[in-house]
Amino acid sequence: MAYQLLVCDLMTDTRLEVLPISGVSWDDYIGKTGSLSGTLPVSSSAMAQRIRETALPGRTMLHLMEDGQLAWSGVLWTRTRQRDARGFYSCAIQAGGLEGYFRSHRLLLADLVAVGADQFDIARQLITYAQAQAGGNLGVELDASLSGVLRDRSYSRYDLPWIGNALDQLAATQQGFEWRIQVWADSAGVRHRSLRLGYPMLTVGGADMVLDSPGPVTTYSLPEDATAMANSWQSRGASTGTDMGAEQVPLMSALLTTPSDWSAGWPRLDGTSDYSTVETQDVLDQHAAGDLARAVRPVAVPSVSYTGGDRPQLGSYVRLRITDTWHYDGLDARYRVVGLKVSPAERGRAQTTDLFLEVA
């Protein structure tokens, strides 16, 4: 595999430079921000000048090209110019996916209210606000899809919510959704940045990718973790009451339980969560119901590593077949891909792909 780094202007995506990169690895996820790391070799003062003038943290977009195809895109956040003891010069870089721009660099600085709106429209309203502010338009394209789930939401500028976190909280409620910002190239090679929304989840069609052990699978981890398990849940919201002399008490959700667990022999396991900006009972109840649904059988993310071969897309499905000491009776299970990490082949080492999975 041959890799190059396209260095582009963050706002316009205008190409500024093409740079070699070594020691590169990258990851991408549904539900959290992906990242890229690598080293830019500095062979001369001319190369140093190219890097210093174009690869500017905070204002540069990076596109990793793999054999001429777009493999990963994100914002350059750090670069470290360095010289080692042998006198070799290099520049280490770290970049993050576009979701991170909205999760940790863009605040909601105005009141925003939605009544009886589709949750996808609320998500688009948040991104639209961010892109309407001076200097804030990254050209993220929005579609008109709907989830069919209507919600009321009220955001206050005094709470200073991060826009990406507001999206994450909206998505995590009962009957929620998944979101990501996908950078892709069309048939003409034109790159696009698109907000992808999926209800109840983001999925990609096509045949399942089959991974076998014995075979290309080198390692796997199939955890089972009850440390975050709960079958009784209550959430706290904003403090209520306007009389400064009176005791301030938080809004409380209904106490939600799953008695069927207890009758099946499970002990009572309590859980709670805080939503200090939520002032509406039904909104708080939706958050509590979503939290309980995840906690009743907490998901411990399986992972599998394999060498060579194709890579699945996020949201696609793989079929994992294992016969070994642990699975003496054979495992044949279907999973959805919710994350991946790629370590390319280098210096005789085969390319390794780590997949992070969710039971289908």
Residue-wise pLDDT for 139-158, tens only, equals 999 999 999 999 999 999 99
**Crossing angle for the helix pair 119-132 and 163-171, to the nearest 10 degrees:** 180
Least Cα distance to 30 among 341, 338, 299, 358 occurs for 338
pLDDT at site 306: 96
Instruction: Give the torsion sign (CA, 122, 124, 127, 133).
Output: negative
pLDDT(347) > 80: no
Task: Provide the pLDDT confidence category of residue 1 given band limits of 50, 70 and 90.
Answer: confident
Q: How far, CA to CA in Å, does 133 sit from each of 137, 181, 196?
A: 7, 19, 21
Q: What is the mean pLDDT of residues 38-59?
A: 97
Q: What is the mean pLDDT of residues 5-18?
A: 98
What would the two tokens of residue 38 be? 């690598």
Alpha helices by DSSP H, listed for 213-322, are 259-263, 281-296
pLDDT(241) > 70: no
Q: Is the pTM of this model over 0.85?
A: yes
pLDDT at site 240: 74
The SS3 call for residue 9 is strand
pLDDT at site 350: 86
Round to whole Å and give the CA distance between 345 and 338.
23
pLDDT at site 246: 64
Say which residue the tokens 């520049």 belong to: 91
Alpha helices by DSSP H, listed for 68-223, are 98-104, 119-132, 163-171
Task: Provide the pLDDT confidence category of residue 245 given band limits of 50, 70 and 90.
Answer: low
Write the secondary structure of 75-106 as one string of H (helix), E (strand) and C (coil).
Answer: EEEEEEEEECCCCCEEEEEEEECHHHHHHHCC
Task: Provide the pLDDT confidence category of residue 346 given band limits of 50, 70 and 90.
Answer: confident
pLDDT at site 25: 96
pLDDT at site 48: 98
